[in-house]
Structure 1
């Protein structure tokens, strides 16, 4: 009772502070730019990029290029050799270890100044919910965080691990007593072994909050279903009232997860990454995410369609437009400068600045000039599922088939079905028609007989789990890309059939 009681005044205070910076978002962002440049002017990166001479945003853009991990790697390699004052003052507090598609293992610095962005943002997402709904009782029951192992190695004297494992070390002490799973179970590396142990520890608990990436939460629900002879989650955990998720778009999983639960419950979407915690859903009446403009990050935005131009336009928060697709660029007190995280977002509000996650800048299909993006395929699938309500999917991805054995090229959809559509041809047509409506280039290619209608390759419900296990990426924070511009994933999935 004490936790829920004390959380309410804290929630009220946090929301009041939030309202203050929301009213001055553009000014706050400019102040962060000035502060970040000043704090880093004596670092190796700051000296190399004339931070001492930067007076405004225009100066900053002239001196600091857009970077990806490979561009910053020479500086990160120096930190890994034990040097200090390289990207940010001093030495990082942690390295978050993550996998890159082109860079192999990446070591993302988390500093003494940036750790609060990760910890406080997660806390504030819950406090916003408590303040709006008055529901704080969940804090007095069991809370489960499905995350990576908290075991940390050391690299150049700096603790190293997965972000979710690092954050696990900073769970407030007042929540540790009712946090699941135990530390020992969380340390198990094999996901399936870990999942079985998590179920052992939680199946008889009074669970009120569950947090994790949707596909792995669904796997947890499926195992609970098996263990309890088909019980729904609401019958296993009668007080389960809040689902916190992030990492992927929830829409493709929404129906299946709520069906597994057996009732609709409140949920909070978050937008965390190893590079920072960027946004969270701050209202149950609005699915968009509040962009965190007062949390140690100066954001820039590049129109997605111009990202690969030689000199793409770089916009500050005051210059963005609604419903346009932007690549998200960071400058942060973790020492990331002009850093493209590879994610794209769209603004749906400017008062306050609220966004939706729209995909990955590298995850698109443009084998024929169509530039189909993640949000478009997800919307198309949502439409097809609504039109064919008997259908249940667990996961999907899309790739181009440029050289079919016969006929025109096409987009190949790999969909894992729990319940097949009654009419797969109708489902396919609904999907294709909606995608044509959402993407005019795709429409033109279909109508001009450059492409033929999409083709669905059906997979069993656990097809993607089989694939992820085969590449050693089952569970944790691993995700299947929605879109590929090549056949690397598709060719492996083709080997898996119903």
Structure 2
């Protein structure tokens, strides 16, 4: 074992002890975060407008601070963007993470000197948690690659802005700089396909040990590597044994990845966003990711099936239950208050609090009251693939409300790597699995309101072409698993 690996294991043990301390005291930990946030922000414009000085309890907070999304918070954000101080958080943010808004164009998410360290520590601690549990640390001597956005930052009224992954690139610890790929120059390439080609050339002859990124874009990298080497990625990178990912569920990709790699590798799931780093997979044995309760974020949870009702109940960490679909609400040391990030989660464990991402509150199908969510379609597809040679590259689902003939249906657009021998039978397998996942969908099929789903094959690289056509190829961009309309479906039909 190298000296670097030895110290990594020692550091991992220290971080594990610190993590256990707050994880074993979740309610107290969150209460401290809650009080600290209110104290720090009471003299901001938002704090004054919402009477932070008078808030003593969570119930007071609920009365004074309504749940908002970006559009509702935007009047405050716009003032911050203009360069005003002490609006949402004390002083000015150090960065804006620029993201693509669906209704409002670009969104500017503030990152402060208080919030930024938690983004870095969480990613580091995810790896240290893996080292502590498995005892594996030799990979720290190999090369690491993080497929991310360009680190070139713009400036707006004295505040730097860019993609979150590009901002984070400026914070890679010095002890990892020699191990890190791609080069700064390659990382700055804006065009995604050109960038991936350059990354292939830079990494082809390196001792890659860790590879990280959103699965759909890492898949593109692996396919290019395999084509160039004419052998599996695992043979090219013999010491590659750890894949780190976030943004989407890995399970639909797992079989394809194992085929591209040529063997199984361990994986760590992360749950980062511009608004905060919320959770990471702390165990290879347990399901879910550890919710980070001590990272400058106070969490609230609203049951998804109550979210669009008037005044839905807002739950704190001590009130949540297993298996319920919750909308995640945040108050953070970056100045977001009772903020609806749009993600839905479910708890898989309450000791400690572990979660899975179940989908997006706006990404669902409920054209007939079925309220199908992302977790359900992913689980159904996974079940349908079990015991078969079918492999998929990507998929999305949309309702067809006005078919030319027959009953309405859900249409599944799937790009196959290995196609099923009998597509109709495979579609029925997915449909049967969906009926088990969602009782409302089952009732609609049984009641002849819907007919069984229709499978539409997407040509090779069809989803990449679609993402390119809307200017969202690569980086942190993700394809919605579900749509309640035909906007994506109609564009896919033209690919």
TM-score over 0.5 for the pair? yes
Q: Which residue of 1 aligns with 2:371?
A: 371
SS class of match (2:171): coil
Contact 2:148–2:166 (CA<8 Å) still a contact in 1? yes
- The within-5 A match list for 1:88-127 is 88-127=89-128
- The within-5 A match list for 1:155-174 is 155-174=156-175
Q: Which residue of 1 aligns with 2:397?
A: 398
Q: Which residue of 2 aligns with 1:334?
A: 334
Alpha-carbon shift at residue 492 of structure 1 (Å): 0.7
Q: Which residue of 1 aligns with 2:280?
A: 280
Q: Distance in 2 between matches of 1:80 and 1:288?
A: 36
Alpha-carbon shift at residue 57 of structure 1 (Å): 0.4
Alpha-carbon shift at residue 136 of structure 1 (Å): 1.1
Contact 1:208–1:239 (CA<8 Å) still a contact in 2? yes
What's the Cα RMSD here?
Answer: 0.8
Q: Distance in 2 between matches of 1:117 and 1:332?
A: 11
SS class of match (2:449): coil
- The within-5 A match list for 1:133-152 is 133-152=134-153
Alpha-carbon shift at residue 3 of structure 1 (Å): 2.6
SS class of match (1:125): helix
Contact 2:287–2:348 (CA<8 Å) still a contact in 1? no
Contact 1:12–1:131 (CA<8 Å) still a contact in 2? yes
- The within-5 A match list for 1:228-267 is 228-229=229-230, 231-267=231-267
Q: Distance in 2 between matches of 1:80 and 1:353?
A: 35
Task: Tell me if 1:59 matches 2:90.
Answer: no
Q: Which residue of 1 aligns with 2:297?
A: 297
Q: Distance in 2 between matches of 1:290 and 1:103?
A: 32
Q: Which residue of 1 aligns with 2:269?
A: 269
Alpha-carbon shift at residue 81 of structure 1 (Å): 1.1
Q: Distance in 1 between matches of 2:118 and 2:305?
A: 30
Q: Which residue of 1 aligns with 2:190?
A: 189
Q: Distance in 1 between matches of 2:137 and 2:397?
A: 41
Alpha-carbon shift at residue 103 of structure 1 (Å): 2.0
Q: Distance in 2 between matches of 1:433 and 1:204?
A: 46
Q: Distance in 2 between matches of 1:5 and 1:154?
A: 41
Alpha-carbon shift at residue 80 of structure 1 (Å): 1.1
Q: Which residue of 2 aligns with 1:313?
A: 313
List per-residue Cα deviations over 1:312-371 (Å, max 9, x = no partner). Answer: 110000000110000000000010000011000001111001111100000000011110
Alpha-carbon shift at residue 236 of structure 1 (Å): 0.5
Q: Distance in 2 between matches of 1:74 and 1:284?
A: 43
Q: Distance in 2 between matches of 1:379 and 1:178?
A: 36
Q: Which residue of 2 aligns with 1:50?
A: 51
Alpha-carbon shift at residue 52 of structure 1 (Å): 0.4
List per-residue Cα deviations over 1:23-62 (Å, max 9, x = no partner). Answer: 1111110111111011100000000000000001000000
Contact 1:435–1:442 (CA<8 Å) still a contact in 2? yes
Q: Distance in 1 between matches of 2:130 and 2:155?
A: 36
Q: Which residue of 2 aligns with 1:458?
A: 457
Contact 2:329–2:340 (CA<8 Å) still a contact in 1? yes
SS class of match (2:386): helix
Q: Distance in 2 between matches of 1:236 and 1:477?
A: 26
SS class of match (1:482): coil
Moved more, 378-387 or 204-213: 378-387
Contact 1:181–1:202 (CA<8 Å) still a contact in 2? yes
Q: Which residue of 2 aligns with 1:41?
A: 42
Unaligned runs of 5+ in 2: none
Q: Tell me the matched-pair count.
A: 494
Q: Which residue of 2 aligns with 1:348?
A: 348
List per-residue Cα deviations over 1:82-136 (Å, max 9, x = no partner). Answer: 1000000010010000012122110000000000110000000000011111111
Q: Distance in 2 between matches of 1:195 and 1:3?
A: 30
Q: Distance in 1 between matches of 2:148 and 2:440?
A: 39
Unaligned runs of 5+ in 1: none
Task: Tell me if 1:27 matches 2:28.
Answer: yes
Q: Distance in 1 between matches of 2:80 and 2:5?
A: 42
Contact 2:143–2:181 (CA<8 Å) still a contact in 1? yes
TM-score (structure 1 length as normaliser): 0.98
Contact 2:30–2:298 (CA<8 Å) still a contact in 1? yes
Q: Distance in 2 between matches of 1:232 and 1:264?
A: 12
Q: Which residue of 2 aligns with 1:77?
A: 78
TM-score (structure 2 length as normaliser): 0.99
SS class of match (2:11): helix
Contact 2:328–2:341 (CA<8 Å) still a contact in 1? yes
SS class of match (1:365): coil
List per-residue Cα deviations over 1:203-222 (Å, max 9, x = no partner). Answer: 00000000000010110000
Q: Which residue of 1 aligns with 2:439?
A: 440
Q: Distance in 2 between matches of 1:50 and 1:309?
A: 26
SS class of match (2:167): helix
Q: Distance in 1 between matches of 2:290 and 2:460?
A: 34
